Amino acid sequence: MEPNTTKNAEGRQFPLLPALRQVLEQQRTHTEQVQRSTGRIIPSVFHRQGKRIGHFRRVWKTACLAAGLAQLISKKPRVIKVHRIPHDFRRTAVRNLERAGIPRSSAMKMVGHKSESVYRRYAIVSEGDLRTAGEKLAALHGGDTNRTVASGQVRPVR
């Protein structure tokens, strides 16, 4: 993001991962094809046949419906109940960074959180995360879940 276009007026740095690079290259190829066919320069990365995407919410609802993350309430007028909001992806990103073991300072920089308290609000722990943590702890103790460790001593759980 460019400086001064984010909520905190600072740009963000994010590594160009192979999957992201592929999406952007495909979009660039598409844009070049549209430019050749229309004879116009298209300034936007994402567009509709060269035209600016004007109403993001409508596009979002249609995409969620296609992905099975929304339901069509009525056809006329077209009413779509969406079960996801764009901000959910930020929460997902933070959870994925946590699960990947990315250092918190790097993760905060990537998602644009300046304080750890805000970051922690996004680092929601699920039951699956707790189960995985328990499995890792059990593996550390050789699968023996009938022991506790305190002050360097191992003793049975009562």
Give the domain ranges of the chain.
14-54
Comparison of pLDDT for 145 and 80, the residue scoring more: 80
Predicted pLDDT of residue 122? 87
Say if residue 65's pLDDT is above 70: yes
Q: Are 115 and 123 in contact (CB under 8 A)?
A: no
pTM of the model: 0.62
Q: Report residue 144 as tokens.
A: 């023996």
Residue 1 confidence class, pLDDT cut points 50, 70, 90: very low
Cα dihedral sign for 143, 144, 146, 149? negative
Predicted pLDDT of residue 145? 53
The DSSP string of 84-134 is --TTHHHHHHHHHHHHTT--HHHHHHHHT--SHHHHHHH-PPPHHHHHHHH
Q: Report residue 88 as tokens.
A: 């959910």
Q: Report residue 79 as tokens.
A: 């009413």
Say if residue 97's pLDDT is above 50: yes
Predicted pLDDT of residue 25? 96
Could you give the CA distance from residue 78 to residue 55 in angstroms, rounded to a whole number?
A: 15
Predicted pLDDT of residue 88? 87
Predicted pLDDT of residue 66? 92
Note the pLDDT tens digit of each residue in 5-64.
Answer: 677 777 777 788 899 999 999 999 999 999 999 999 999 998 988 988 877 888 888 889
Average pLDDT (123-141) is 86
Average pLDDT (57-81) is 87
% residues pLDDT > 90 (the chain): 27
